[in-house]
Structure formats: structure tokens, C-alpha cells
Amino acid sequence: MAFQKFEKNTSTLFPTITITKSHSLGINRACIEKFFKDAVALELYYDNDTNRIGLKPFKKAADHLFSINKKEGQSASISCRGLIKHFGIEVEKTIRFHPAWNEKEKLLEIHLDKPLSAENIQKANIAEAKAEAGNSKGITL
């Protein structure tokens, strides 16, 4: 058998938000394009009853907002150390989540009790690739 080249591709096709063990929120390119394209800042929320974090986008910066540090055409990150410490959220390792838009609250939310597994990430990437090709209607996890 001949060698086959492996192309490095760390991006996912569907929106994800990652909470790192260093207390940053990583927002992937698909999430930026879908939910934060015109946003420059966020408000952060936490719902203790349902263990959810909410991210509300804003088109203009303000002192009380968190700046989105976008990397051109890639991903973005914001520091959430204060939020994690204030609410006592435990983050022992880097964890990735599939966010959902909450139309009532006008924010993007992640359920901290529902992290993505590597298997679900792979399934969602396949589903999103099919959806982009017109063969499916989206992501089912």
C-alpha cells in the first residue's frame, strides 16, 4: 500500500463554541458566520437553573460589553474568566458545545450539561457537508 497524504483540517463545518480550561470562549468560523458576522461585542449571561451560558451579540462596542477578538476569516475568542469564577462554573478541561439560537432572549446559548463528543462532531460535520451539497436538511445529533 502506498502512502496517502493526510491534510490537516481542524475546523468544523457547523457552529461550535469551546470553553477552554484557561477560561476563554472559543467561537469557530461557522458560528461567527452564522451568528456573529456583524457583531463586535457580547454580553454574557448564565442560567443557574438550566446550567446554560448565553451570548448576546452587539454591533457596537460599549464599556459593559465583552470585545470579540476575531481572527480574520477564522475564529474568535473572548475571556470569560470572570463569568466562570463569579458563578462557580467548573471547567477542568477544554469542552466543545453545539450552540442554539434562543429567539425569545435574542441570544446564542450553550448547555453546559451537553458537551459534544468526538463522535457527534464527526456526525455533525458529515450532516453539514451533505446539507451544503443539498442532500440533507441540517444537523441531527
Contact 68, 27 (CB under 8 A): yes
Rounded distance, CA 99 to CA 110, Å? 5
Residue 49 located in a structural domain: yes
- Within a domain: residue 70? yes
Report the alpha-carbon angle 101-141-138, nearest 5: 65
pLDDT at 95: 93
Q: Is residue 47 part of a domain?
A: yes
Give the domain extent around 59.
Answer: 17-132
- The pLDDT assigned to 125 comes to 64
Contact assessment for residue 65 and residue 36, using Cβ atoms and an 8 Å cutoff: no
Does residue 7 form part of some domain? no
Q: Among candidates 6, 19, 14, 9, which has minimal Cα distance to 115?
A: 19
Residue 9 lies in a domain: no
pLDDT of residue 138: 47
Q: What is the pLDDT of residue 69?
A: 83
SS3 letters across 60-76: CCCCCCEECEECCCCCE
Confirm whether 11 is domain-assigned.
Answer: no
Strands (E), the chain: 17-19, 24-27, 41-47, 52-58, 66-67, 69-70, 76-79, 95-97, 100-102, 107-111
Lookup result for grid cell 469542552: 95
pLDDT tens, N- to C-terminus, the chain (141 residues)? 788 776 666 556 789 999 999 999 999 999 998 999 899 999 999 999 999 999 999 999 999 999 988 877 688 989 899 999 999 999 999 999 999 999 999 999 999 999 987 676 667 666 666 766 665 444 444
- Based on the structure, what is the number of domains in the chain? 1
- Residue 8 placed within a domain: no
* Residue 138 within a domain: no
